Amino acid sequence: MQKLITASAAGLALALGAGGALAAPDWSKAPGKKITLLYPGASPMEWILKGTEHGGARGLKKGESCASCHDEEAADMGKKMATGQKIEPKPIKGKAGSIPVTVQAAHDGSNLYLRFSWKQPAGGAEKMDKDNQVKLAFMLEDNKVERANLSGCWETCHQDSRTMPDAKDEKKTKYVAGGDVKGGKFYDLMQWTSKGAKHDGYVADKRVMEGGKGLVEAKGEKKGDEWVVVFTRKLAGGGEGDIALASGKTYNFGFAIHDDHTAGRFHHVSLGYTLGIDAKADVTAARQ
């Protein structure tokens, strides 16, 4: 009898293991979207909207998105800022101007899966964050923040935020002008760190790194010179600052990588894109 119970338990464990493995997305069936992250220098939203310094301010005010103008030139822009040619008073020696990242998405009816993969660029600068070689964060927005569909996560980046050249408050984090979670004016934020920490929060009137209940798992590993990070997030969310994701809808989407032990504004960021759940978008999560 004991042998029978043991055998049955082993069989159940194998079945559950197989089921768990089958529940994971088949990434070979999820199209990859190549998105170039650029080094943004000190380019807060206020600078972007100032027409005397940013030529695209007029287009933005007319409803043209940052990505529609700059998607193909992101690498060149990042190089200029990383080397100090433009809006970077403190260039970092050897800083990569851009990082090409492949983004894939899928869902199973209950969870959204996001996969990011990229090659590790050269580095070697001073370690601002000694504990983490890499951090990756992404934000989602439910079409309620003004200009989020045009400027992406830049709506959370301001000239008075800490680490900005003119910042006076070392505790001032990212924020949304008029941000309010209850009113829907916020960005849903999730972050993975190479040390193993995982954060599920939001950006409204300030950045909060906890409170969400949508994050199921965030895993990352480096094989050779390639990083792969995968997030599993409940479609329903369920916590403070969690956006409920629904089939047929699209959301504003952006992400950032803190590479080479960097911190604060010294990261690489994407322009603003869209994420669709069974809907046409820059990145579409189709059901598997």
- Residue 129 in any domain: the answer is yes
Residue among 90, 135, 97, 138 nearest 258 (CA): 135
Whether residue 20 is contained in a domain is answered as: no
Q: Residue 251: inside a domain, yes or no?
A: yes
| CATH number of the domain bearing residue 244 | 2.60.40
In a domain, 23, yes or no: no
How many folded domains does the chain comprise? Answer: 1
pTM: 0.91
What pLDDT does residue 123 have?
A: 86
In the chain, the percentage of residues whose pLDDT exceeds 70 is 92
Task: Answer yes or no: are the C-beta atoms of 282 and 273 closer than 8 Å.
Answer: yes
| Residue carrying the six token digits 């792969």 | 228
- Domain encompassing residue 215: 34-287
- DSSP character for 185? B
pLDDT tier for residue 250 given thresholds of 50, 70 and 90: very high
249 assigned to some structural domain: yes
Contact 137, 131 (CB under 8 A): no
Q: Which of 7-16, 109-118, 233-242 is least confident?
A: 7-16
47-104: per-residue pLDDT in tens? Answer: 999 988 898 899 999 999 999 999 999 999 999 999 999 999 999 999 999 999 999 9
10 Å Cβ neighbour count for 232?
A: 20
Report if residue 248 sits inside a domain.
yes
242-256 core/surface letters (b: 16 or more CB in 10 A; e: else): bbebeeebbbbbbbb
Q: What are the tens digits of pLDDT across the range 89-133?
A: 999 999 999 999 999 999 999 999 999 999 999 988 889 999 999
Domain assignment of residue 2, yes or no: no
Calculate the alpha carbon distances from 265 to 25, 146, 167, 274 in Å: 33, 22, 12, 23
- The verdict on residue 86 lying in a domain is yes
